[in-house]
Amino acid sequence: MILRIIKQAISSSASDIHITYGSKPLFRLDGKLNIQEEFEACTDELIKEFINEIINKEELETLERNKQVDFAINTQWARCRVNIFMQRGHFDIVLRLIDFKIRSLKELGLSSVLKELAGLNSGLVLISGVTGSGKSTTLAAIIDYINENFSKNIITLEDPIEYVHKSKKSIVRQREVGKDVVSFEEGIRASLREDPDVLLVGEMRDLETISSAITLAETGHLVLATLHTRNATESIDRIIDVFHPNHHQQIRVQLAHVLEGVIYQMLIPRKNIGRVACLEILRTTLPIRNMIKTKDNISKIKDEIYANKSKLGTQTITQALADLYLEGIIDKQTGLRYSEDEGLFCKLLNENDI
């Protein structure tokens, strides 16, 4: 039964499926939840049937012990990231649909700056954004680009594994937290003995993981990681604020040394149908490294991003939105709605008309 729901969701180009007690299944389409009237309302018995269709013994034991579990499954149509949890005494299920095919940076319409970052030999590159903004898809495209173009040992730490990579020019080893390794922190530490060139950290959640990732970048490896933040400068602040205030200056110096770029991503409505990725892109110039070292200068980083668009391909969200509008991909109201500076957005449009 749940496989029929998954098949229908894929046919509808949904990104997520919500199975919740007392309601008919819902699909997330272009960012909005839509109830699926053709299916019956979910009872406890029906949801348990769904669970038994997709769960294995080990995952079921985790669910019974922790009242929630994360894992991934393969169907004949797509891979699914699954979260089962309890709410008000009932089990609910959320599935994220993941295409078997890894789309390239070009197919995703992403900036060539991401190829430049992917070609680095060392440093820290952050992909930030809210849940559901396409961070995993972008990271998968970056890993695939490295895999196709360079001979490197790539190790990924994920919870759970989403996109599955096959080794091409590079070796790709994917480790799932909870199954292949105890934690992100332990996986980063162990990677030092695994001769890595590139390490992907699925999510930098805590002080230990962040500290270990920075240390690995300092030792001459390329570290790719994600953060749940709402712009590039907030990503820098988030990393620093995780540490005790007594260590802030030390972390500022370390981060200024290893940080190579921050990509903040959000998905916004296209003019006609669907959504498009809109990226804020930070490349770490010498002025930005100096700004990271000094707390009072963090706010000036936006100005540096804005000023280096033509030279380095960096851009603020407002600049990215203006470009999408001028290319006919989004309408003006969408640009204004998502812009951080409506006045600047309109100014950029007017300048282009001159």
- Which DSSP string do the residues of 201-220 spell out, in sequence order? ES---SHHHHHHHHHHHHTT
Identify the three-state secondary structure at position 87: strand
CATH fold of the domain at 2-98: Beta-Lactamase (3.30.450)
- Over residues 220-231, the mean pLDDT reads 95
The whole-model pTM stands at: 0.93
Residue 316 CA, distance from chain mean position: 18
Strand partners, 281: 263, 315
Q: What is the CATH number of domain 113-315?
A: 3.40.50.300
Res 142: pLDDT? 98
Q: What residue ranges of the chain are covered by domains with CATH 3.30.450.90?
A: 2-98
68-74/32-35 β-pairing = unpaired
Q: Evaluate if residue 353 carries a pLDDT over 80.
A: no
Q: What percent of the chain has pLDDT over 90?
A: 95
Residues of the chain with CATH 3.40.50.300: 113-315
pLDDT tens readout for residues 319-333: 999 999 999 999 999
Whether 4 shows a pLDDT value over 50: the answer reads yes
Give yes or no for residue 139 having a pLDDT over 70: yes
pLDDT at 352 over 80: no
Q: What is the signed CA dihedral for 241, 243, 249, 254, rounded to 10 degrees?
A: -100
pLDDT at position 278 over 60: yes
CA distance linking residue 284 with residue 69, whole number of Å: 38
Question: What does the pLDDT look like over 18-73, one tens digit per residue?
Answer: 999 999 999 999 999 999 999 999 999 999 999 999 999 999 999 999 999 999 99
Q: What is the pLDDT, as a whole number, of residue 354?
A: 43
CA-based nearest residue to 47, from 57, 39, 35:
39
Q: Cis ω on the peptide bond leading into residue 245 (within 30° of 0)?
A: no
Mean pLDDT for all residues in the chain: 95
pLDDT of 140 above 70: yes
Q: What are phi and psi of 91, to 5 degrees?
A: -80, 135
pLDDT of residue 297: 73
Phi-psi region of 129 (alpha: psi -120 to 50; beta: other; left: phi over 0): left
CB proximity list for 220: less than 8 A, separation 6 or greater: 121, 122
Structure tokens at 179: 């199954």
> What's the whole-number mean pLDDT along residues 125-146?
96
pLDDT for 115 equals: 97
- pLDDT of residue 152 exceeding 60: yes
